[in-house]
A and B are shown apart, each in its own frame.
Chain A
């Protein structure tokens, strides 16, 4: 839980690598790629829920980052900046995968049949005791979150970013960020509680 995230650890040396890259040092960008690829992949996977998409997101993210490198402000945190690009790339992928769902309202959980179905379909206790299934359930529940909810939750829960950092990454106010996390947790509870409460 007390995961400081990649945000703070690498801050100083990232800034130096960016400076060197901008000064024309080709290998300096490689340092950034080496340093952030794995965590970026995890983020991309959690955002897209798909290994292949995640690989593509990683590529696209570094490509965009490379092209915009001089737009990066040296006072900012490179990891946060890269994550923001990664999140946008992930969202682009999600959008292109679910075009038909594009106009889903962010607050439609109540009327969302998929969520209700998921909850009512929660398997009997004996079937989840040894639970490879839990993972699949979670993935399905995660896929029912809106883009913003999923992004905010992933960044808070898995990446250990603070609400302020998430707000900055997503371009949200603190209150909106907080509400997105609340809604995400509520939806996850609704979907997963019937299952986990019986496993105890």
Chain B
């Protein structure tokens, strides 16, 4: 048998690859027993790895799990199954939100087109302009939240090797269409601040939607840089929370409440 190089010694040490086979292991062991050079290198390797083990790791007590749970518990809403329907996974399930989103878009566009094309809002509808604005804000808020999920997921993706982003990509391409409608609606409604963030968001979403479903680490990095450099995630967060703030009365009570009309955005 030939001498063992460093890489082989490492694999041998961890019982990996060829050295999972009993025959290979035995052959290597026999060589190590017979060859001073290899035995010395292996001993040096083992000394270093033993030193690594000397680095202290603080142990946690048996009840650590309970402590973690006590801290975690208030941060969780409902049962995990329920949470997953309301939270992340709900947003990521395209069938579910595609329907909800499409309906919201139709509703909103119908309202705002009505408002823009007529001098007066349709009086038959018992919906005041304030209520309408809130409905738009609820829908945009949800849209922003879904978009944020995609961007967060992407910026947290592993930064090495090939990454499968097909679910995010699929989401992004669905969000692009929705985004376009909201952007136009927001523009028509004189919501310049919202419209401008939606405009930036749309560019990033288009880029994600046009990416291959499996990206290399380099592509991933450039996508990540793109998301970071625009500060788009931050803007989406800010405008998202603002929008949700403005949507609040509508969520509690859909009836018009003129006195509770939120202040107009200044941007």
Query: Is A68's beta carbon under 8 Å from chain B?
Result: yes
Given contacts A59-B71, A171-B162, A197-B47, contact A69 B54 (CB under 8 A): no
Query: Is A29's beta carbon under 8 Å from chain B?
Result: yes
Query: How far apart are the CA atoms of A22 and B157 in the complex, in Å?
Result: 24
Query: Is B24's beta carbon under 8 Å from chain A?
Result: no
CB distance B54 to A131 under 8 Å? yes
Distance (Å) between the CB of A85 and the closest chain B CB? Answer: 9
Given contacts A23-B81, A181-B10, contact A41 B52 (CB under 8 A): no
Which residues of chain B come closer than 8 Å to A63, judged between CB atoms? Answer: 72, 75-76
Distance (Å) between the CB of B219 and the closest chain A CB? Answer: 13
Contact of A185 among B10, B59, B66, B89 (CB under 8 A): B10
Q: Mark B135-179, 1 if CB is under 8 A from A, else 0.
A: 000000000000000000000111111110000000000000000
Query: Is B7's beta carbon under 8 Å from chain A?
Result: yes
Contact of B69 among A30, A178, A185 (CB under 8 A): A30
Chain B at the A interface: mostly helix, strand, loop or mixed?
A: helix
Query: Is A109's beta carbon under 8 Å from chain B?
Result: no
CB distance B65 to A88 under 8 Å? no
CB distance A69 to B84 under 8 Å? yes
Contact of B84 among A2, A67, A142 (CB under 8 A): A67
Distance (Å) between the CB of A133 and the closest chain B CB? Answer: 10
Distance (Å) between the CB of B99 and the closest chain A CB? Answer: 18
Distance (Å) between the CB of A148 and the closest chain B CB? Answer: 5
Residues 162-179 of A at the B interface (beta carbon under 8 Å): 162-163, 167, 170-173, 176, 178
Residues 146-200 of A at the B interface (beta carbon under 8 Å): 147-148, 156-157, 162-163, 167, 170-173, 176, 178, 181-182, 185-186, 188-189, 192-193, 195-197, 199-200
CB distance A192 to B48 under 8 Å? yes
Query: Is B51's beta carbon under 8 Å from chain A?
Result: yes
Query: How far apart are the CA atoms of A33 and B163 in the complex, in Å?
Result: 28
CB distance A71 to B89 under 8 Å? yes
Residues 5-49 of B at the A interface (beta carbon under 8 Å): 6-7, 10-11, 14-17, 44-45, 47-49
Closest to B68 in A: A37
CB distance A62 to B72 under 8 Å? yes
CB distance A188 to B57 under 8 Å? no
Which residues of chain A come closer than 8 Å to B56, judged between CB atoms? Answer: 135
CB distance A162 to B81 under 8 Å? no
Query: Is A92's beta carbon under 8 Å from chain B?
Result: yes
Given contacts A34-B66, A68-B88, A173-B162, contact A189 B71 (CB under 8 A): no
Query: Is A97's beta carbon under 8 Å from chain B?
Result: no
CB distance B55 to A135 under 8 Å? yes
Distance (Å) between the CB of B143 and the closest chain A CB? Answer: 19
Query: Is B87's beta carbon under 8 Å from chain A?
Result: yes
Distance (Å) between the CB of A63 and the closest chain B CB? Answer: 6
Query: Is A139's beta carbon under 8 Å from chain B?
Result: yes
Query: Is A74's beta carbon under 8 Å from chain B?
Result: no
Residues 1-33 of A at the B interface (beta carbon under 8 Å): 1-2, 21-26, 28-30, 33
Distance (Å) between the CB of A106 and the closest chain B CB? Answer: 8
CB distance B76 to A66 under 8 Å? yes
Contact of B79 among A21, A68, A173 (CB under 8 A): A21
Distance (Å) between the CB of B128 and the closest chain A CB? Answer: 36
Query: How far apart are the CA atoms of A23 and B79 in the complex, in Å?
Result: 8
Closest to A46 in B: B57
Query: How far apart are the CA atoms of A142 and B69 in the complex, in Å?
Result: 30
Query: How far apart are the CA atoms of A186 and B234 in the complex, in Å?
Result: 40
Query: How far apart are the CA atoms of A192 and B51 in the complex, in Å?
Result: 8
CB distance B44 to A189 under 8 Å? yes
Which residues of chain A come closer than 8 Å to B258, judged between CB atoms? Answer: none
Which residues of chain A come closer than 8 Å to B156, judged between CB atoms? Answer: 88, 92
Which residues of chain A come closer than 8 Å to B87, judged between CB atoms? Answer: 67
- 6 A-B pairs within 8 Å (CB atoms) are namely A23-B81, A24-B79, A26-B79, A42-B57, A135-B56, A186-B6
Q: A33-B65, A34-B66, A37-B64 are in contact. List 19 more A-B contacts (CB 8 A).
A: A21-B79, A24-B80, A24-B82, A37-B60, A37-B65, A38-B64, A67-B83, A68-B84, A69-B89, A71-B89, A131-B54, A135-B54, A137-B51, A139-B55, A171-B161, A171-B163, A176-B160, A185-B45, A189-B44
